[in-house]
Amino acid sequence: MCLAVPAKLIQHDGQQGIVDLHGNRLPVNTMMTPDAQSGDWILIHAGFAIERLNPEEARETWALIEEVERATCNSADQNDTQQHNTTAQPARGGIS
Amino acid sequence: MSLTRACTDSLLQCLRVAAKAIAHDVAFMEVCGTHTTSAFRCGLPSVMPPNVRLISGPGCPVCVTSQGDIDRLIDLGSRRDVILCTYGDMLRVPGRQGNLENARVHGSRIEVVYSSMDAVKLARTQPDREVVFAAVGFETTAPATAAAICEAQRLNVKNFSVLASHKRIIPAMRALLTDGEIPRIKGFLCPGHVSVIIGSEVYQSIVDEFGVSCVVGGFEPPQLISALVCLTELVVNNKTALVNQYPEAVHAKGNRWALALLEQIFEPGDARWRGMGNIPDSGLVLRREYQRFDAALRFNLPEPQEREPAGCICGKVISGAALPVQCKLFARACTPISPIGPCMVSSEGTCSAWFKYGPSKQLKNPRSHSDELLEVQS
Amino acid sequence: MNKQSINDVAMQPHAMPARFTHVALAHGGGGQLTDALLSQIVMPRLANPALSQLLDSGIIPGGKLALTIDSYVVQPLFFPGGDIGRLAVCGTVNDLAVCGAHPRALALSMILAEGLDRKILERVLDSVAATASEAGVRIITGDTKVVGHGQADGIYLTTAGIGELMGHALPHPDHIKPGDVLIINGPIGEHGLTVMLAREMPEVESVLRSDVAPLNGLIEQLRSAIPEVVFMRDPTRGGLAGLTADLAARTGWRINLEETHIPIRPEAKHAADMLGLDPLDIANEGKVVVVVRPEQAPAALHAMRQHPLGRQAQIIGYVTSEKDGVCTLHTSIGGWRVLQKSYGEQLPRIC
């Protein structure tokens, strides 16, 4: 329940923003991080940005995390024509 | 070998060296459900030095919600004129008569929300129903409730209220340190995300008054191990200290906007913790000027009745006084599908973690062929 | 004061689920409760040599044909990368293919809810037709029923499939031996996560797509190169953890997976983090786990990587010589944990 994940703020308008979590985009409320700017990494929890992450401090940790991801995610995307149809729009779910 | 593995290997080596320098057993406690699951998921118990224990404390806010509070939520949810909004974690926590999910199956209007603001939005679109938000969580989550109340006030939403059950972690940490039944701990791995809100400075009083170290740690395996190294080395050097090992997210004074929200809407009050009883000042109650958003007052709810199910020792497990495997009900009558206590139902509960991940059995001859597999792949 | 270190406490085996009085949603999860339903109610009444094998398809006595059946109750009906129609064809085709059968024909049963929009039905059946063509199978018979408004959540599909067993030694878990290697054809978790997001968090726009795909072409290519594939199964409900834990329990050998070798895309990993889920437990509908003899692993990998659905094939684990029937995960920090089949439903209605 205290799960908070780092995400990149890609749009920001007043107290509403959109973050990107490695290809997953979702809305967040930024009232607790009024100094966050587009391009910042923020910590999101229950629909709110709860802190702006300090990239200098995080660099080392993230380098390790990204390195693991590079090793396990196996640079698949360019070879994989079946899985990623880039023209498809994300579905909204439900009966359309 | 990957960079991460090289890093965690060398951190583990530091941990082993430090542990060897301690002649006796030493115990630390984490008080964050996300730390519990992160530690189990990366197999940390299997690589810990035998004399260093990391006890799981009351870090799961769902688990520490008292049965009486759960019953009040179920009661509210079953009222025809009420829509109860809740985070998903709460759906299957057992009350005395079933849980919110059963109630939903039987027709109660119970909505799972991702954000507290969704509950306010729902109230605006359903003016003929009362919308109640189940406000559960530690200080990480409480500001979201405060924000929702501010929003409801700003928009003059009359049919929105919260059943407030937020908890504050520091009074609980103090209570644990004064409880004779809890194993004597030499330090806390402090919750990373609670600390984002409340800051790291606030733990200094625990260091000073109780002589235990407090290390604020992150959740990735290298961060977990690094925090344990720090705690252990402090013991080796006979020191106690407050150390912030999650500085990218945690500042000394916390998040001032989140704290301002909390200050505006809530004040400390007594709260009942499952299995630990009443802990003074450990809850967040609505300030007088916001009491019209208090669902307990609005619906005139009776005082909650507390009665633990027979045989359930969640309270002892939550406080670190017992291991899940010491509970007679664990993995027999009490399972993730038919949980008796909250520690089993919450995905961050200690019993749930033990059930799913298992403590590392002493596996006979574990041997990795990882390097050989890598050769074949290339 | 509890003197035991958690490292000393042997894991207690979980008790078998107790006798249940009512069916719960969790009984459909593909986890231990599903097993309980089978063992308490189905097998005592229906057991016979073919059924008792509990493989993905049943071998019809005579050894030439395999038969399988599956129902599809996914919500929502349409999701990024697929829909209920595509699932219904692929799921059944794959259950035949992993047993060593060439899928030849399907039967399709539809249960439609009164009030279902015609356009939805057309869209679903267009997808069934397109996927059947892709897989090289035909729908040769079917049935349609209509139930009242609000029942069947729009549409339920059931497909039965028949396939020809062709000559090679059939894959079977009894053939698994210590030293055998496990290979998966690509990254995990995508189907279940995509459906979960579409259903529970529609506000999230994700690049995640269901991996639902017919695997018979990939498997034929593999078996052309390696006729003696030891065993195959697709990690659907219960995910990779469920499949491997099952296999370990069934064979009695300890099977180890290497966490750092299990492929997963960043968007899947982070979506799982966000939802608080473990990717190892999440359903896949376009993945197959293949068990081969170690000396055949390089050739198997090579054969699989020539196919579009196998470009990211990876060796992910191996069968050990420890006889404890446990599935272990060697973690990224060099630790160990036991992987279990999930107990009930983690993700309801995902296939």
Ordered by start, the domain boundaries in chain C are 56-165, 173-339
Tell me the C-alpha distance between B246 and C57, whole Å: 51
* Residue from the list B3, B87, B116 with its beta carbon closest to the beta carbon of A64: B3
What's the whole-number mean pLDDT along residues B106-128?
91
Show the CA angle centred on residue B374, arms to residues B370 and B377, nearest 5°: 140
Identical fold, C56-165 and C173-339: no
* Residue C67 pLDDT greater than 60, yes or no: yes
Mean pLDDT of chain C, nearest integer: 88
* Residue B359 pLDDT greater than 70, yes or no: no
Show the CA angle centred on residue B87, arms to residues B82 and B90, nearest 5°: 85
* Percent of chain C with pLDDT strictly greater than 90: 67
Tell me if B193 and A45 make a contact (CB, 8 A cut-off): yes
Tell me if A23 and C206 make a contact (CB, 8 A cut-off): yes
Rounded to 5 degrees, φ, ψ at B223 are: -70, -40
Tell me if B115 and A43 make a contact (CB, 8 A cut-off): no
Find the range with the poorest average confidence among A37-46, A70-79, B275-284, B327-336.
A70-79
Q: Which fold has domain C56-165?
A: 60s Ribosomal Protein L30; Chain: A; (3.30.1330)
Find the range with the poorest average confidence among B205-209, C167-171, C175-179.
C167-171
Using CA atoms, how far residue B160 sits from B79, B82, C291, in Å, is: 15, 10, 57
What's the whole-number mean pLDDT along residues C45-69?
85
CA torsion sign, B301 to B304 to B305 to B307?
positive
Tell me if C186 and A80 make a contact (CB, 8 A cut-off): yes
Nearest CA in chain A to B144: A48
Find the range with the poorest average confidence among B105-109, B142-146, B187-191, C287-291.
B105-109
Single-letter amino acid code for the residue at B64: V
Find the range with the poorest average confidence among B227-236, C45-54, C106-115, C307-316.
C45-54
Tell me if C326 and B361 make a contact (CB, 8 A cut-off): yes
User: Which residues of chain C have a CB within 8 Å of the CB of B4?
Assistant: 332-333
* Residue C12 pLDDT greater than 60, yes or no: no
The backbone region for C86, taken as left when phi is positive above 0, alpha when psi lies in -120 to 50, beta otherwise, is: alpha
Report the relative pairing of strands C101-113 and C138-147 from DSSP bridges: parallel
Tell me if C181 and B373 make a contact (CB, 8 A cut-off): yes
Using CA atoms, how far residue A27 sits from A23, B249, C202, C204, in Å, is: 13, 20, 11, 8
Tell which residue, B303, C263, C113, has the closest CA to residue A80. Answer: C263
Mean pLDDT of chain B, nearest integer: 88
What's the whole-number mean pLDDT along residues A61-85?
46
What's the whole-number mean pLDDT along residues B136-159?
96
Is B350:B317 a contact under the CB 8 Å cutoff? yes
Tell me the C-alpha distance between A10 and A18, whole Å: 6
What's the whole-number mean pLDDT along residues A16-42?
94
Report the relative pairing of strands C255-258 and C314-319 from DSSP bridges: antiparallel
Tell me, what DSSP letter sits at residue B159? T
Single-letter amino acid code for the residue at B240: T
Where do we find the tokens 């063509």? C133
Show the CA angle centred on residue B263, arms to residues B257 and B265, nearest 5°: 105
User: Which residues of chain C have a CB within 8 Å of the CB of A96?
Assistant: 78, 120
Where do the DSSP E strands lie in chain C? Answer: 58-59, 65-72, 78-79, 82-83, 101-113, 138-147, 155-165, 181-184, 205-206, 231-233, 255-258, 289-292, 314-319, 327-330, 336-339
Q: Which of the residues C79, C205, C264, C284 would you substitute to probe the A interface, choosing the one with the greatest number of A C-beta atoms within 10 Å?
A: C205
Q: What is the pTM of this model?
A: 0.87
What's the whole-number mean pLDDT along residues C234-256?
94
Neighbours of chain C (3+ CB pairs under 8 A): A, B
Residues near C202 by beta carbon (within 8 Å), at least 6 away in sequence: A92, A93, A94
Neighbours of chain B (3+ CB pairs under 8 A): A, C
* Residue from the list A24, A76, A77 with its beta carbon closest to the beta carbon of C274: A24
Tell me if B368 and C256 make a contact (CB, 8 A cut-off): yes
* Residue C13 pLDDT greater than 70, yes or no: no
In this prediction, residue C1 carries a pLDDT of 29
Helices (H), chain B: 3-20, 33-41, 67-77, 100-105, 116-125, 142-154, 169-178, 192-198, 204-210, 221-236, 256-265, 295-298, 314-318, 342-345, 350-357, 370-377
Based on C-alpha coordinates, what's the Rg of chain B?
Answer: 22
Is B131:B81 a contact under the CB 8 Å cutoff? no
A5-73: CATH number: 2.30.30.140
Q: Which of residues 6-45 of A touch B (CB under 8 A)?
A: 29, 31-34, 43, 45
CATH 3.40.50.11740 domain span(s) along chain B: 1-310
User: Which residues of chain A have a CB within 8 Å of the CB of B4?
Assistant: 64-65, 67-68
Residues near B14 by beta carbon (within 8 Å), at least 6 away in sequence: B229, B233
Where do we find the tokens 């899928």? C103
What would the pLDDT profile of C79-134 be if each residue is shown by its tens digit?
Answer: 999 999 999 999 999 999 999 999 999 999 999 999 999 999 999 999 999 999 99
State how far residue A25 is from chain C, nearest Cα, in angstroms. Answer: 5
What would the pLDDT profile of B69-104 be if each residue is shown by its tens digit?
Answer: 888 998 898 888 999 999 887 887 877 877 888 788
Tell me, what DSSP letter sits at residue B95? B
Q: Which of residues 190-229 of C touch B (CB under 8 A)?
A: 200-201, 203
Of B9-13, B306-310, B363-367, C25-29, the range with the highest mean pLDDT is B9-13
Neighbours of B365 (CB within 10 A): 8
Q: What is the dihedral of CA B332, B334, B338, B341, to 10 degrees?
A: 180
Query: How many H helices and E strands in chain A?
Result: 1, 5
* Residue C314 pLDDT greater than 50, yes or no: yes
Find the range with the poorest average confidence among B98-107, B123-132, B182-191, C210-219.
B98-107
Find the range with the poorest average confidence among A17-26, B71-80, B213-222.
B71-80
Of A65-74, B203-212, B323-332, the range with the highest mean pLDDT is B203-212
Find the range with the poorest average confidence among B21-35, B327-341, C180-194.
B327-341
User: Which residues of chain C have a CB within 8 Å of the CB of A5?
Assistant: 270, 273-274
In this prediction, residue A65 carries a pLDDT of 56
* Residue from the list B3, B223, B249 with its beta carbon closest to the beta carbon of A51: B249
Q: Which of residues 6-25 of C touch B (CB under 8 A)?
A: 6-12, 14-15, 17-18, 24
Residues near C93 by beta carbon (within 8 Å), at least 6 away in sequence: C103, C106, C135, C137, C161, C214, C215, C216
Q: Which of residues 50-69 of A touch C (CB under 8 A)?
A: 68-69
C173-339: CATH number: 3.90.650.10
Tell me if C336 and B366 make a contact (CB, 8 A cut-off): yes
Tell me if B257 and A43 make a contact (CB, 8 A cut-off): no
Task: For domain B1-310, say whether CATH 3.40.50.11740 is its number.
Answer: yes
* Residue C53 pLDDT greater than 50, yes or no: yes
Tell me if A1 and B346 make a contact (CB, 8 A cut-off): yes
Tell me if C336 and B369 make a contact (CB, 8 A cut-off): no
Select the more confidently predicted residue: C314 or B331.
C314
User: Which residues of chain C have a CB within 8 Å of the CB of B322?
Assistant: 2
Query: For chain A, what are the domain ranges?
Result: 5-73
In this prediction, residue A78 carries a pLDDT of 34
ipTM: 0.88
Nearest CA in chain B to C242: B356
* Residue from the list C9, C254, C336 with its beta carbon closest to the beta carbon of B46: C336
* Residue from the list B42, B184, B348 with its beta carbon closest to the beta carbon of C331: B42
Single-letter amino acid code for the residue at B127: P
State how far residue A4 is from chain C, nearest Cα, in angstroms. Answer: 8
Tell me the C-alpha distance between C95 and A62, whole Å: 40
Single-letter amino acid code for the residue at B124: R
State how far residue B201 is from chain A, nearest Cα, in angstroms. Answer: 17
Select the more confidently predicted residue: B357 or B344.
B344
Using CA atoms, how far residue C306 sits from B339, C125, C185, C218, C219, in Å, is: 48, 31, 11, 9, 12
Neighbours of B353 (CB within 10 A): 25
Q: Which of the residues C3, C6, C14 would you substitute to probe the B interface, choosing the one with the greatest number of B C-beta atoms within 10 Å?
A: C6
Tell me if A81 and C266 make a contact (CB, 8 A cut-off): no
Q: Which of the residues C314, C332, C347 would you substitute to probe the B interface, choosing the one with the greatest number of B C-beta atoms within 10 Å?
A: C332
Q: Which of the residues A44, A84, A95, A96 would you substitute to probe the C interface, choosing the one with the greatest number of C C-beta atoms within 10 Å?
A: A95
Please give the span between the terminal C-alpha atoms of chain C, in angstroms, as a whole number: 48
Tell me, what DSSP letter sits at residue B128? T
